[in-house]
Amino acid sequence: MAQINVSSLTFCYEGSYDNIFENVSFTIDTDWKLGFIGRNGKGKTTFLNLLLGKYEYIGSITSNTVFDYFPYQIKEEFKEKPAADFVEELKDDCELWRVICELNKMDMDAQALYRPFSTLSFGEQTKLLLAVLFSGENNFLLIDEPTNHLDSRARETVKEYLKKKKGFILVSHDRDFLDACVNHVLVLNRHSIEVQAGNFSSWRENKRRQDACMQMENEKHKKEIGRLKEAARQTRQWADKNESTKIGFDPAKEPDRCKATRAYIGAKTKKMLSRAGQTERRIEQEIRKKEGLLRDIEEPANLKMMPLDHHKRTVLAADKYSLKYGDAEKYLFENMCFEVNQGDRAFLNGANGCGKSSLIKAVLRRVMDGTDGTDKAEKKRNERRAEESGESEVIEGGRLWTASGLAVSYISQDTSFLRGSVKEFCKERNLDESLFLAILRQLDMERVQFEKRMQDFSEGQKKKVLLAASLLTPAHLYIWDEPLNYIDVFSRMQVEELLLTHRPTMLVVDHDVRFVRKIATKLIDIPS
């Protein structure tokens, strides 16, 4: 067992307005299964890159271990080759037999090593790269969000695999995944960093109790400060009143007074003012004690959205609906039947590649064209659209229907199109900029981020841009395609509370087990 010692670490990106880390110190052991938790933009991936020596920093990070990072970056020229041809490029001294042993532990056929990498599903690619990662010895592994885009079955396989491993830092926002795979947590709080034994749920419970204790302590200090302020005010008031009697008196009414008593009155006033000064110093001490009590408390803001009511009960339906692309040999899925009624939060359920996103795109085409896909005119429009976009022709069977006049708010999986400033984004989508920025602030994006170009945002911040735009769009139906990928766990819990409060009608693809379990009112299975 070795240790990684971080001492007085300070780091910021060139040209940045603020430090990502400032005078941070902590120690972790290299045989831990360490979960890494924090809000988007707090520096999780940055810290992993610091361990890898990619950036210069102030302070020290000392360890005699070797680090390896997931996900590996696959060069374009490798994507059409089988992984067996380039695994040594990914990891020095990588031996295929070791990779095959690790693949067997994930119930994956070793033949995947000999197929073109681009033909593998997201789940297969993730499993293969994890097998490469764990094929070495004595490395401390940095695993950055391995579950993004994985279906539920693949997540379960990867979870069971990692449960049996140790010696890694795991960055993930999936609470179920973290609880199963880690025995320590490294947490980036709002203004501090802490290391704690346990998993996400145990840390969360400890944090809840600590926050409650800090809130009580804060209330006690507030009451004490109020009491001391009132005492200081009264003492100064008495001193002022006493001082006003030094000059001018009526001998008939105050026969015991003379000019010599002025010194006595002055001394008495001075004593009162001294007492008031001591009270004010105590107030300052109490305020200093109070400072920092609430600095790490997570108080997620209550988000809002504007779902619309439609005059029809059923807003989306499929009757024996089938879909395939023109160049494919078989249908992605066939004979699907389902309904989405007002108030339903319907989640599409199926393996990677089964056609969930294709179904969503078909629904969006129906909304845009205002038809049910059965007339010849629409088929010609779809053919023309496919030809203009360079996409494969879509061949459909059965019926997919959307209610007339349906307003839809859509979140895409893809964030690569986000370019330029937030201001330009709001103008392009006709969004109220001040409300849009307010939602991003409620999702814990710092104001300084709004001055950046969106292509420089982290993936989690880009997803928050799309989420904020959707929440600001009144709609009868919210269609969200993997909306929580890369979004931090605290924002996920905010979104859960929002959806349970406002109960919008939704069609969603997401693989976060706890999110689905809490939010879904209906599951629509897509056969693979």
Name the residue range of residue 275's domain: 207-290
For residue 71, say if its preceding peptide bond is cis, omega within 30 degrees of 0.
Answer: yes
The whole-model pTM stands at: 0.76
Higher-pLDDT residue of 121, 440: 440
Average pLDDT of the segment spanning 170-176: 92
Q: Which pLDDT belongs to residue 139? A: 83
Check whether residue 96 and residue 165 sit in a common domain. yes
pLDDT higher than 90, residue 137: no
Least reliable range by pLDDT among 3-17, 200-214, 360-374, 451-465: 360-374
Check whether residue 422 and residue 469 sit in a common domain. yes
Is residue 256 a part of any domain in this protein?
yes
Q: Which pLDDT belongs to residue 401? A: 93
- Domain count across the chain: 3
- Last residue in a domain, options 152, 176, 202: 202
Check whether residue 237 and residue 192 sit in a common domain. no
Check whether residue 217 and residue 183 sit in a common domain. no
pLDDT higher than 60, residue 248: no
Q: Which pLDDT belongs to residue 254? A: 61
Is residue 244 a part of any domain in this protein?
yes
Is residue 254 a part of any domain in this protein?
yes
Between vectors from CA 372 to CA 367 and to CA 374, what angle results, nearest 5°?
Answer: 145
- Residue 60: which pLDDT band, with cuts at 50, 70 and 90? very high
Q: Which pLDDT belongs to residue 481? A: 93
Calculate what percentage of the chain has a pLDDT beyond 90: 49
Q: Which pLDDT belongs to residue 260? A: 58
CA dihedral (45, 148, 494, 185) in degrees, to 10, reads -50
Check whether residue 164 and residue 214 sit in a common domain. no
Q: Which pLDDT belongs to residue 153? A: 84
Find residue 79's DSSP bridge partners. none
The CATH number of whichever domain residue 324 belongs to comes to: 3.40.50.300
Burial class from Cβ neighbours inside 10 Å (0-12, 13-18, 19+) for residue 273 reads: middle
Query: Tens of pLDDT along 285-318?
Result: 666 665 555 555 666 678 999 999 999 999 999 9
Is residue 303 a part of any domain in this protein?
no
Task: Round the average pLDDT of the chain to a whole number and report it.
Answer: 85
Check whether residue 157 and residue 9 sit in a common domain. yes
Higher-pLDDT residue of 353, 406: 406
pLDDT higher than 70, residue 513: yes
Query: Tens of pLDDT along 484-508?
Result: 988 999 899 999 999 999 999 999 9
Q: Which pLDDT belongs to residue 340? A: 96
Q: Which pLDDT belongs to residue 521? A: 96
- Residue 381: which pLDDT band, with cuts at 50, 70 and 90? low
pLDDT higher than 60, residue 462: yes
- Last residue in a domain, options 202, 225, 242: 202
Q: What is the rounded CA–CA span in Å between residue 478 and residue 508? A: 8
CB 464 within 8 A of CB 40: yes
Q: Residue for token digits 């890694």?
A: 168
Is residue 131 a part of any domain in this protein?
yes
Check whether residue 286 and residue 321 sit in a common domain. no
Q: Could you tell me which of 77, 493, 149, 74 has the C-alpha nearest to residue 351?
A: 149
Query: Tens of pLDDT along 318-342?
Result: 999 999 887 777 888 999 999 999 9
Q: Could you tell me which of 308, 320, 472 has the C-alpha nearest to residue 403?
A: 308
Check whether residue 151 and residue 181 sit in a common domain. yes
Check whether residue 517 and residue 383 sit in a common domain. yes
Check whether residue 254 and residue 344 sit in a common domain. no
pLDDT higher than 70, residue 371: no
Q: Which pLDDT belongs to residue 175? A: 92
- Residue 363: which pLDDT band, with cuts at 50, 70 and 90? very high
Taking the CA atoms of the chain, what radius of gyration do you get in angstroms? 31
Is residue 386 a part of any domain in this protein?
yes
Average pLDDT of the segment spanning 231-239: 70
- Residue 144: which pLDDT band, with cuts at 50, 70 and 90? very high
Check whether residue 465 and residue 329 sit in a common domain. yes
CB 327 within 8 A of CB 395: no
Number of neighbours of residue 317 by Cβ within 10 angstroms: 17
Is residue 171 a part of any domain in this protein?
yes
Is residue 509 a part of any domain in this protein?
yes
Q: Which pLDDT belongs to residue 171? A: 93
Q: Which pLDDT belongs to residue 463? A: 94
And the tokens for 264? 């006595």
Strands 21-29 and 3-11: antiparallel
Ranges of beta strands (E only) in 289-332 are 314-325
Burial profile 380-393: b = 16 or more Cβ within 10 angstroms, e = fewer: eebeeeeeeeeeee
Check whether residue 326 and residue 431 sit in a common domain. yes
pLDDT higher than 70, residue 398: yes
Calculate what percentage of the chain has a pLDDT beyond 70: 83
Which one of 117-121, 371-375, 395-399 scores highest in mean pLDDT?
Answer: 395-399
- Last residue in a domain, options 251, 275, 290: 290
